[in-house]
Amino acid sequence: MLKNKVAIVTGSTSGIGLGIARELAGLGADLVLNGFGDAGEIETIRSGIARELGVRVVYDGADMSKADAVRGLIAATIDKFGRLDILVNNAGIQFTAPVEDFPAAKWDAILGINLSAAFHGIAAAVPQMKTQRWGRIVNIASAHGLVASTHKAAYVAAKHGLVGLTKVVGLETAGSGVTCNAVCPGWVRTPLVDKQIDDIAAQRGIGQKEAARDLLAEKQPSLEFVSPAQLGATVAFLCSAAADQITGTAISVDGGWTAQ
């Protein structure tokens, strides 16, 4: 379905981003991986996807906290592949604290990576996509792009902003062959969430399984985690012809979280 298409997935060296990247590669897209991590492990991931799925895969370590680096990632991709078809803005960081105790530097960092990076990437990618008369921009937001939780001022603000940005870009590109949508996951079993489960288990003196269930029970009625592969399949659907008229919208993949 995506043969001869080129996709960038930011924050794709692990977790949700890697799940999305694998799904797109499985459908034939050439890939630009991006993110931090051990150089050897990243190379193993890069070469493994290329070998297993028969697509071109490159790694670009652009720092998503720097505007010039984000725009440079887009330019370098177009320079290397001659096109850019799919941009998945997935890179994100998290920090929790009551608003009065929230460090200003953490606020700036979270808005920078979770929101501003998406803006810079989109602004740089849209001209190329319009020229091609085809493009898919998918912003990985969160259930927290639609509702709030305590102690997450910066994350909730950034993800709400990302949903708003999605709507604007969807309107501005309507009819051009380019679409822009947001995917809003609930709890996904990633290393970030594993740490929260560990904390709950330690605080309450309970096992991992019970701690995981407690975490889910608070927000996610299905009592099941969303998987990176499911999110990858959702992104793939948004890249399909069936989604040509879906733009400027937020799709919840959250086990019923925001239906409550």
Q: Which pLDDT does position 52 carry in this prediction? A: 96
Q: What is the dihedral of CA 120, 77, 25, 49, to 10 degrees?
A: -110
- Yes or no: say if 190 and 16 are a contact pair by the CB < 8 Å rule: yes
Find the helix or strand (DSSP H, E) in which 231 lies.
helix 228-238
CA dihedral sign of residues 29, 33, 38, 43: positive
pLDDT in tens, 87-99: 999 999 999 999 9
Q: Which pLDDT does position 192 carry in this prediction? A: 76
Instruction: Note if 59 is an active site residue.
Output: no
Below-50 pLDDT ranges, the chain = none
Quick one: fold of 6-186+227-259?
Rossmann fold (3.40.50)
Q: Which pLDDT does position 36 carry in this prediction? A: 94
Catalytic residue among 59, 81, 107, 155: 155
Q: Which pLDDT does position 196 carry in this prediction? A: 86
Q: Which pLDDT does position 190 carry in this prediction? A: 86
> ∠ CA 39-40-41 to the nearest 5 degrees?
95
Provide long-range contacts, Cβ within 8 A and 24+ apart, for 127-132.
128/74, 128/78, 128/83, 128/84, 129/84, 129/85, 129/173, 129/176, 129/177, 129/178, 130/173, 130/176, 130/177, 130/178, 132/83, 132/85, 132/177
Q: Which pLDDT does position 191 carry in this prediction? A: 80
CA dihedral sign of residues 203, 199, 209, 155: positive
Residue 55's Cα: distance from chain center in Å? 21
Distances (CA, A) of 234 to 39, 90, 139, 246, 254: 29, 13, 12, 12, 12
Q: Which pLDDT does position 235 carry in this prediction? A: 98
**Owner of token pair 């501005």:** 172
